[in-house]
Structure 1
């Protein structure tokens, strides 16, 4: 081994022999039940269910228009770009911190010119040239301080990656919900227009009957209220559709093409339906936000090791190999070799509690990260449980709302026919109109809830990123 390679080899040997003073990490026990809640609100599993964390979003969202909008958002959304930039920042910080483990090797050259009256050469002029390569004040990490700081930076980098993944999962869910909201508002606008037309016909009929003395002015006013309510709802729904489109444009970071916008609530599912209805709580560990919280916990654990190492001597090494001569032409010839080694050690004796304070801070930070991790697990469990509870009763509610709407529609047709035939008073028809209108709106709201519940369940279970 030559002298040039001596220092890196020595550095590697000392680094591998370094102590690790960080506490041994063990994943905390999950502060939630082992399995999903059971009860009348939760459905019974049937068939083969997909695993959300292993299912690509392109496979989960089956409506091609919605899939195109999501893909556009993943390219142009500014919040996601910020998350990606945060990952790059954390990666750069980790690389910079990791470099501290190894010595920085540098080259140095110098020239000294001096003129003294006591020179042996008689001329009074002496020229000294020197060149060297070596390390300066490299910390020999015997107690793992630098290595633990490096691990802490690495875990912060991993946490930023998972935060970016969590941001993508949340963005996909937000895009899907915004798209579905626009679909529901388009459907609401269609319902309001259809009922406005029907209510307008009833109003015209009532006015004609009033002109002939068959109907009262009260009946005209009652018919007018239903018609005006439909007109008001048309204006409101029109506004909501425009606002929904603005929200989609913001989320995607660009203008969504008209062909990708929904024109009504889709009749079929826009997502896969066979998500699991029960799962072990350990499945939550695959959620990006929970994984990020655990990396933060690991980073805090490594910082404890660095704080502990600060109580022990800090050993540094400065060393150089080089050559020196009285003439530039003789600089690299034999006979002028030089070397120097200057190890140093610093042991804290009285620091007025600085190191103790840093250790307490590191331990308190770990406790805070532990509580954050446990809260993330509990939040994830609650979100999955809520989504499962909503899903468990959704089928029955949707069937009931559909039957209610169908009955209200038939009742309205019958009451209108009886009113036209002069059998029933207009008040019966008015009640049937309002019942049908409310039933249409409730059914639409239920369909929207069912669709967004599938999106929320997918997100809560970790959602695929591909």
Structure 2
């Protein structure tokens, strides 16, 4: 019993071994401790200022808000659900996680002994003048078990295992980032399609007004009370509106094609009714928090850190290559010159062959591999810092936009009203002979441009809120209050197969 305990303790000590991986210290975030304040950042929406308290974030952070609660449009919610099921890029991302999981399991298997059951027969002919008793043909049958084990004294395999695990976690976080980005991209494309619907409506109304104006101007010209200049100007407005109508119809169709590509299948006919662009009620008062919060909220930053951990572990493997490799191989079984004698007494056979390999001259390979591993770590440090800086810039840009769009839209709404009144007065003056048709044309063009600018500003405000929701780490859970899924969980609503979690793969 004591011998078994000693053997078990020795095996455990060997399995633990040592490692030459450098101690990992998370690099300091290369950004300021707070997001910019004052100026364009000063006017941020709050829960107290929300027009509809039921549509307030109520102080919840973006990762705690489900995308069904962030979007109020039932049609958009259904489209996002379809995209999460069918998008091919997301499917490839998940398969990459599965491949990384398998690669990790392959690498981890190197820590354990291998056992193989083998059976063989060999037949050999020896020249008669070299044989004994004229036995020129000899047979050997064997059945047994072969075992081999590389003892990881210096942590080479352990470091490779840590590297594979970190790469697996990195791809899992990348897959999570891809899903969050998909939710944002689908919403942006859907809102763009709604904006083109509004532009088509404005252009169609402008075209109707222009056609009526052209009809009246032509009638005046035919009766000799109007000039050809006025007629050609009115005709030009009609032609321009018709050209814009075709352009916007084309762009609207292409926007829908882009949405279909994101969804991964044609949009079904039974989609619920949607909201127009100016009625989209997104949560606008999500708190930004601190830049340091992004380290835990943003999966792209987590993926960059896991890549850094993988590079750190690779240094340990490169260092261990300078030290001896010790492997044990052995076999146990039976040997017999006849098949029937394999299991007779006295046929047992075994072999034990420990081996040690010490690097003496590798032509600089080990040194170069270590240099490469160190350089790769510095590269991953820079990538990690760049991911943080990019995240900081994206959130800061989103906050700057969120603090200015509301007032811009209110100003544009007032501007549209003023241009609409201007058109009415210009048309009245023209009909009374006080002013030329050029004033009407100018007012009509200004109103049309103002209406398009207002639609563009509304679209930009909404897409900014969607993107800011993504930049702050939102879009991973479906409903507020849901428990966050592991990063490697497949998205398959209604699937009966329970997904494998990252913790399962690591165990």
> Which position in structure 2 is the counterpart of 1:102?
112
Verify: 1:31 aligned to 2:34, yes or no: no
Contact 1:66 1:260 in 2 (8 A): no
Contact 2:166 2:309 in 1 (8 A): yes
TM-superposed deviation, 1:421: 3.4
Secondary structure class of the residue paired with 2:212: helix
Distance 1:10 1:131 in 2: 31
Distance 2:270 2:440 in 1: 40
1:303-337, Cα deviation, whole Å (9 max, x unpaired): 00000001111111112333445665564466554
Distance 1:407 1:123 in 2: 115
TM-superposed deviation, 1:262: 8.5
Q: 1:215 to 1:312 in 2, by over 3 A?
A: same
Verify: 1:433 aligned to 2:432, yes or no: no
Secondary structure class of the residue paired with 1:254: coil
Distance 1:185 1:290 in 2: 35
Residue range with higher mean Cα deviation, 401-410 or 323-332:
323-332
Q: 1:407 to 1:258 in 2, by over 3 A?
A: farther
Q: Could you state the TM-score of these two structures normalised by the residue count of structure 1?
A: 0.91
Verify: 1:385 aligned to 2:384, yes or no: no
Structure 2 unaligned regions, length at least 5: 48-57, 478-507
2:382 to 353, 368, 371: 371
1:90 to 76, 87, 100: 100
> Which position in structure 1 is the counterpart of 2:490?
none
Distance 2:13 2:119 in 1: 28
> Which position in structure 1 is the counterpart of 2:65?
55
Contact 1:34 1:282 in 2 (8 A): no
TM-superposed deviation, 1:20: 1.1
TM-superposed deviation, 1:126: 7.8
2:354 to 343, 346, 360: 343
Secondary structure class of the residue paired with 1:41: helix
Verify: 1:134 aligned to 2:146, yes or no: yes
Distance 1:335 1:193 in 2: 100
Q: 1:126 to 1:235 in 2, by over 3 A?
A: closer
Verify: 1:250 aligned to 2:261, yes or no: yes
TM-superposed deviation, 1:228: 1.9
Structure 1 unaligned regions, length at least 5: none
> Which position in structure 2 is the counterpart of 1:314?
325
> Which position in structure 2 is the counterpart of 1:200?
211
Secondary structure class of the residue paired with 1:255: coil
1:221-267, Cα deviation, whole Å (9 max, x unpaired): 22222222211111111111111111112222211135649988433
Q: 1:173 to 1:407 in 2, by over 3 A?
A: same
> Which position in structure 2 is the counterpart of 1:354?
365
Contact 1:183 1:262 in 2 (8 A): no
Distance 1:237 1:457 in 2: 27
Contact 2:15 2:152 in 1 (8 A): no
Contact 1:11 1:103 in 2 (8 A): no
TM-superposed deviation, 1:279: 3.0
Q: 1:415 to 1:295 in 2, by over 3 A?
A: same
Distance 1:317 1:403 in 2: 84
> Which position in structure 2 is the counterpart of 1:407?
418
TM-superposed deviation, 1:123: 9.8
1:341-365, Cα deviation, whole Å (9 max, x unpaired): 2111111122221111100000001
Q: 1:112 to 1:436 in 2, by over 3 A?
A: closer
TM-superposed deviation, 1:54: 2.5
Residue range with higher mean Cα deviation, 42-51 or 398-407:
42-51
Distance 1:93 1:249 in 2: 34
Q: 1:278 to 1:382 in 2, by over 3 A?
A: same
Distance 2:370 2:358 in 1: 17
Distance 1:10 1:134 in 2: 24
Verify: 1:22 aligned to 2:32, yes or no: no
Residue range with higher mean Cα deviation, 199-208 or 305-314:
199-208
Residue range with higher mean Cα deviation, 57-66 or 89-98:
57-66
Q: 1:419 to 1:284 in 2, by over 3 A?
A: farther
Question: Could you say what the CA RMSD is over the residues aligned between the two structures, in angstroms?
Answer: 2.9
> Which position in structure 2 is the counterpart of 1:303?
314
> Which position in structure 1 is the counterpart of 2:181?
170
The size of the alignment, in residue pairs, is 462
Contact 2:75 2:274 in 1 (8 A): no
Distance 1:124 1:418 in 2: 124
Q: Could you state the TM-score of these two structures normalised by the residue count of structure 2?
A: 0.84
